[in-house]
Structure 1
Amino acid sequence: MALGSTGAGGISAANAGMILLVEDDNRTSRLERFVLERAGYRVTHAFSGENALEMFPNFTPSLVLLDVMLPQMDGFATCQKIRECSQVPIIMVTTMNPGEDKLRGRLLERPIGRLQRRLIL
């Protein structure tokens, strides 16, 4: 995947403050988008890992908020594909049960419970 012209940090000036939200659940994505936009960020939404990867050649966001539990291509596979072409910061988001922390590659998987997620957002 070829990326467009970028400035310092690999982020183009046009995409500074842009967050790519990768979330398949409509209710969750609406909530996350509302909170982020209210905080002043611009948000582009992808409903799947495949959809996110299709968007990537056209722009490089400042941050990717990536759901772990996506259909077909999960968040880990999506993250790996993004890493092949970009060093954009990625935050992995999950609602798995508390206590399911595990090490996966160089990533500590630390789930956020539904109640904790509501409090954080």
Structure 2
Amino acid sequence: MMIPVTSLAKKTVIPSHSMPIVSLENLLKSGASSRLDKVVQTAKDTEALTATLKKRLESELAESLVAATVRDNELVLLASSSAWAARLRFESDELLKAANASGAAASSCRVRVAR
């Protein structure tokens, strides 16, 4: 089935897809809500870890820490610039200890620049 779309220049035909439309309510009642819950929990964990680590840093350096998370037993720190990333690398051992003290299970630390 083709759905005609009119424009000022010419008539364009866009193919319709047979994908069913699912209401948000039905989507949230299905198994997708467990996936959504996992995403929400990951975001909360990231926010909490970031706040914990920022408390360990001087204010200017804390502002440069965009986010902190643990991925595959590695603490990943996102810095706002390469200059701040270099400064965070100097603090990585202390931040790794602080992350583990807060309940994270990380054995190494990586500092990346946020894009």
TM-score, normalization by structure 1:
0.25
Which structure carries more relative contact order (alpha carbon 8 Å, separation 6+)?
Answer: 1
Going by fraction, where is strand more abundant, 1 or 2?
2
TM-score, normalization by structure 2:
0.26
